[in-house]
Structure 1
Amino acid sequence: MRAAPGVGEDIMHIPDGYLSPQTSAVFGVAMLPLWWQAARRVKKVVKSRYVPLVALGAAFSFVVMMFNIPIPDGTTAHAVGGGLIAILLGPWAACIAVSIALLIQALFFGDGGILAFPANAFNMAVVLPFVAYGVYRLLTRNTALTSGRRVWAGAVGAYVGLNMSALATAIEFGIQPDLFHKADGTPLYAPFHLSQAIPAMMFAHLIIAGFVEGVLTAGVVAYLQRANVPLLRINAPEVPLTEAEVRRKPVNPLRAALVALGITAVISPLGLLAPGGAFGEDTPEDLDLAKYHLSAVPEGLAKYTDFWGNTLLPGYGDGSWWQYILSALIGVVVVAAVVFGTTWLIGKVRGGEREAEDLDSPPVSAAAAAPQS
């Protein structure tokens, strides 16, 4: 059972019932090859010693998404952190990290639907990091790692990425009434048309959430330029380090990240202060039927809204600060564990593939292996 709007809810997690099963299936089919490619690329790009950073990135994304930000129209929104992870570790690593964070949110806390998980992953784990990283790379060509351009490029990339993610979500909402309705035109799932969904989603993210995502990303990039330049080079190995950057003793990234993550988890109840509900997250009994010219709750929405009822702490608890912190700590531990387990599994699968390739390859004779004169 999902929490009442405004308690641990936000504007970008699509709950079950608002998308048709057909729409969810399409996104599921689309995400499978993307997750597979992400697993392959992460193994190549992110070396094993950086796996803890992927885990920290996923945990950071999980906690950041718990901070609900009040919007002037009475709804809420949140940052994601996907652009930051993409800049530091690459968009494929961000795809894995944010997907895992979203999955744990849905399974354990009912934040976003299980059926809608592939769509949520597409919006926040694919569109956001890839757009953010693309804009960042475009704006930082031929610049040093400590260039001020990288700071504002990170901000711009994250801002654009989050808003493109919000636009994708709005379109997914907005096409439901036109594609899935009864003979008399009554929507079966989300009752919001494009003319309603796009303004509502984009207003929140263009004026508030996008700036928060941008400032968050720029702040971390600026900090790393002073504290740990080599960390910025993980995903930019072609950029040489200056002599001064090589001599500078870096701050331990894991220690700094753990401290920041702990502080963020402890202050996460600040997200409870955001008043109001969120667009597209109303439970069936709270849906304003008159606003959308409905005589009853859409049949599909009523049918699938409680598809997953096994959440540990629905809506991150009962609204008390201690349950919110408990949810954050549980989420951080579980997300990190799943990341380590996933990367271990990827390593085992990739290792098996390499062994199979070696077995399938014909033996090379000593003569053939000798260098030719």
Structure 2
Amino acid sequence: MHVPDGFINAPVSAVTGVAAAGAVAVSLRGARRELDERTAPLAGLVAAFIFAVQMLNFPVAAGTSGHLLGGALAAILVGPFTGVLCVSVVLLMQGILFADGGLTALGVNITDMAIVTTVVAYAVFRGLVKVLPRTRRSVTVASFVAALLSVPAAAVAFTLIYAVGGTTDIALPKVATAMVGVHVLIGIGEAVITALTVGAVIAVRPDLVYGARGLQQRLKLRVNGELVDTPTAAPAPAPVAARSSHRTVWITGLVTSLVLAGFVSFYASASPDGLEKVAKDKGIDAKARAHASDDSPLAGYGVKDISDARLSGGLAGVIGVGVTVAAGSGVFWAVRRRRPADTSPVSVPEGV
């Protein structure tokens, strides 16, 4: 759903740019409360994983494909404020290095793909975990539903932005119907990827999943007819063991991202994604402009002057993962270091 230059006029692009900058500033402040010794290292990895999986377009209908947006996944794993920053880092790297998503449309893309998806997904997720049983499976189910709804929400947001600042005169009801219809299908893919990823992490290290904090309940014993809390069942993991486990999760996630971007991406669907297909069918792309980074050595997710498509795409994917994890980790560690000394980590209310 990367919006290129020329779809949205300059005034609306500028307004969304200001709005996106404001939201990122708020997210930087909010992320200080979310990031701790567990989530700070994970956040950069989440950004890199989203970059890698976004390279894996999957078919959703005849001649149309979709890819992960990532807002739901990031919000549930590392928190909503940090999630906005994760997706924003990905979009910035894609726009500058890979000519994916217009530079003048960066505000539109951050608003649509980072802010809307994260806010909608996390609101739905929080609402569901408050009413579902306090189990790991409930977190996975809530992740699925939240991700599913976040994608058509982003499609609606784009349609509204286009209604105000679109550069072509197109019947908006037809655009809305086409955008929401195809992105409901893409949302199913988003939901599957999000649920599988959250489920995999929560099965190994539930303490690393922001949305699962406070999940465990203390056992109760009946004493003289009354239920009382049992003593802590087991001591907390030793610091060395915890660090080792955390390192294992991080390395596994990084290797997975590199394999997906460097190898599996070659087999991704070559069909246009949902926005590209709707834009072509409805004439939205009539005034699309060439990307300012079209001459980038990595434009189009390939390395310039390397003729072998498999090698070119794979190398570009590996470079993208490396740059994204480095940029993301740098941002999140800097935010973490600025956290006030008297601020304790954010905790999830008892409803989780």
TM-score calculated relative to the size of structure 2: 0.79
* 1:222 is the counterpart of 2:199: yes
Structure-2 separation of matches of 1:139 and 1:62: 27
Which one has a bigger Cα radius of gyration? 1
Q: Contact 2:71 / 2:113 at 8 angstroms: preserved in 1?
A: yes
Cα deviation, 1:138-179, whole Å, max 9, x if unaligned, reads 0111666634222211100011112101221233234445xx
List runs of 5+ in structure 1 lacking aligned partners: 1-11, 178-188, 355-373
Per the TM alignment, residue 116 of structure 1 is displaced from its structure 2 partner at its CA by 0.4
Partner of 2:346: none
Bigger Cα displacement from structure 2, 38-47 vs 253-262: 253-262
1:273-325 CA distance string (max 9 Å, x none): 33356544799xxx67xx75x9xx95xx36x4344444232211289222221
Aligned residues: 316
How do 1:87-236 and structure 2 match up within 5 A? 87-141=76-130, 146-177=135-166, 189-207=167-185, 209-232=186-209, 234-236=210-212
Give, in angstroms, the shift of residue 78 of structure 1: 1.1
| Matched letter for residue 171 of structure 1 | L
Q: Distance in 2 between matches of 1:224 and 1:62?
A: 18
1:274 equivalent to 2:248? Answer no
Output the CA distance in 2 between the equivalents of 1:50 and 1:15.
Answer: 32
- Is 1:51–1:343's contact at 8 Å kept on the other side of the alignment? yes
* Residues 173, 332 of structure 1: alpha-carbon distance in 2 compared, 3 angstrom cutoff: same
Trace 1:327-366 onto structure 2 (pairs within 5 A): 327-346=316-335, 350=338
In the aligned structure 1, how far is the partner of 2:78 from the partner of 2:200? Answer: 16
Of 106-115 and 310-319, more deviation after overlay is shown by: 310-319
Cα 1:247/1:78, change in 2 over 3 Å: same
Deviation >6 Å, runs of 4+: 243-250
Partner of residue 83, structure 1: 72
Name stretches of at least 5 consecutive residues in structure 2 with no aligned partner. 219-231, 342-352
- Amino acid across the alignment from 2:127: L
Q: Tell me if structure 2 keeps the 8 A contact 1:200–1:279.
A: no
Cα deviation, residue 224, structure 1? 2.9
Match of residue 369 from structure 1: none
Q: Deviations over 1:238-265 (max 9, x none)?
A: 4445567978998532133123223322
Question: Aligned to 1:71, what secondary structure does the other structure show?
Answer: strand
1:36 equivalent among 25, 43, 52 = 25
Q: Give % identity.
A: 30
What per-residue deviation string (whole Å, max 9, x for no partner) do you get for residues 14-42 of structure 1?
A: 00011111111001111122111111111
8 A Cα contact 1:176 1:190, kept in partner: no
Moved more, 197-206 or 154-163: 197-206
- Distance in 1 between the 2:177 and 2:278 partners? 17
Taking the aligned partners of 1:330 and 1:66, their CA distance within structure 2 comes to 13
Q: Partner of 2:61 in structure 1? A: 72
Structure 1 range deviating more: 136-145 or 47-56:
136-145
